[in-house]
Chain A
């Protein structure tokens, strides 16, 4: 572990400390004159992303149709650049992944900054939320708060594989994924599930929290729920090993 760290630690040297007098002209950032020397221009009111409150759009709503059209265009664009269903799903997954990382930070920010925690069901707790350390805590975070942030409701089910061969597999079910509501997939692509985008979001959340995982979306229609989708979460070996250690150590 030590070797890569030492090589990484010198990869940037942007800390122009106030006591260092020789100024490096090639550096973009100069701590003494904020907002003046960046390559980015700002409006005359000086408003930047840092001035916008992170909760400003917290409860804002938009037309469902707008999302449907946008998502539809995103899928057709992706489809033009790949061959085959697998590649398409991979691409959608990759597009969702960074969103997972962002949503994770946003969720925790909101949980720490407001009295009514978005992460716990009991509104009485005012202490900051904990990072998930165990698989179940992580999955509950996805099933509940993440789903509520994205879709304004919890997911429909959370299950663990019963097969002794695949203890690392967990399933999150959405009976009616919003992303599939307005997409009609042609018969010859019936295997395709555009919720691969959401699978990517889940994967980003898992990875972000330090639970290396592969997540995929699968069609599991029922008579009542024709677009029912199961998100299969498969954790990596290192995660399963750590889980055992934490279990023994009594970490919750």
Chain B
């Protein structure tokens, strides 16, 4: 499983990005996206195209963790969202590893997660199924842990909303949370 995590300001400016791979089931923590050359661009594109759905969910579900909100079948990418009360969005894109056959076609998968079945063969690890309850719970823990670090960044009087979070300590906290939960 490969992950791309981003924090967007209330005005959709990315204030933090990181890519990493799973550390579960012997994973080495390195992201291996299906389109390595364009991964950076694609990931941001996919995340941004899920924002309308996030915004809709934002006003029907009062939770901070919105779970899996969107799927982008062409890249087999799943998006999970966490909203801070002050309007920042934590978005996690997960992409299961490509099947050996190279058959990544998911057809017209619904947003409800039925598409998860196509990846079942690739791995038995929890993280391999982006919509399973175990994954949802792991992502929730991951998000909560990052929320704590985010609040610490935002509490500093010199931090202004929408400012890029450049602290390497913050980055290492996110990396550690990824390693621990994903």
Contact = CB atoms under 8 A, between A and B. Distances in A.
A102 B155 contact: yes
Contacts, number: 166
Nearest to B63: A130
Interface in B1-31: 4, 6, 10-21, 29-31
A11 interface: yes
Given A17-B40, A98-B161, A131-B64, A11 B171 contact: no
A19 B33 CA distance: 10
Contacts of B173: 50
Nearest to B59: A133
Given A31-B175, A109-B147, A128-B63, A54 B152 contact: yes
Interface string A1-23: 10011101111111101111000
Interface stretch (B71-79, B81-89, B106-114, B124-132): B81-89
Interface in A70-124: 98, 101-102, 104-109, 112-113
Contacts of A15: 4, 6, 17-19, 40
A113 B149 CA distance: 13
B30 A19 contact: yes
A157 to B, nearest CB: 24
B170 interface: yes
B151 A14 contact: no
Nearest to B28: A18
Given A17-B39, A109-B147, A112-B64, A131 B17 contact: no
A38 to B, nearest CB: 5
Contacts of A54: 148, 151-152, 155
Contact of A11 (B13, B47, B148, B175): B13
A156 to B, nearest CB: 24
A189 interface: no
A62 interface: no
Majority-rule SS of A interface residues: loop
Given A31-B175, A104-B85, A105-B85, A17 B19 contact: yes
Given A109-B148, A131-B85, A38 B167 contact: yes
Contacts of A30: 168
A251 B41 CA distance: 36
A17 B30 CA distance: 9
A209 interface: yes
Contact of B169 (A5, A17, A34, A104): A34
A210 B87 CA distance: 7
B87 A28 contact: no
Given A17-B19, A105-B85, A49 B153 contact: yes
A60 interface: no
B150 interface: yes
Contacts of A150: none
Contacts of B29: 18
A29 interface: yes
A8 B169 contact: no
B44 interface: yes
A11 B13 CA distance: 7
A64 interface: no
B101 interface: no
B96 to A, nearest CB: 17
A30 B153 CA distance: 18
15 contacts: A1-B52, A9-B47, A12-B164, A17-B19, A19-B36, A31-B168, A31-B175, A50-B170, A101-B154, A101-B161, A102-B154, A102-B155, A128-B63, A132-B85, A209-B85
Interface of A: 1, 4-6, 8-15, 17-20, 28-31, 33-38, 40, 42, 48-50, 52, 54, 98, 101-102, 104-109, 112-113, 128, 130-133, 207-210, 242, 246, 249, 251-252
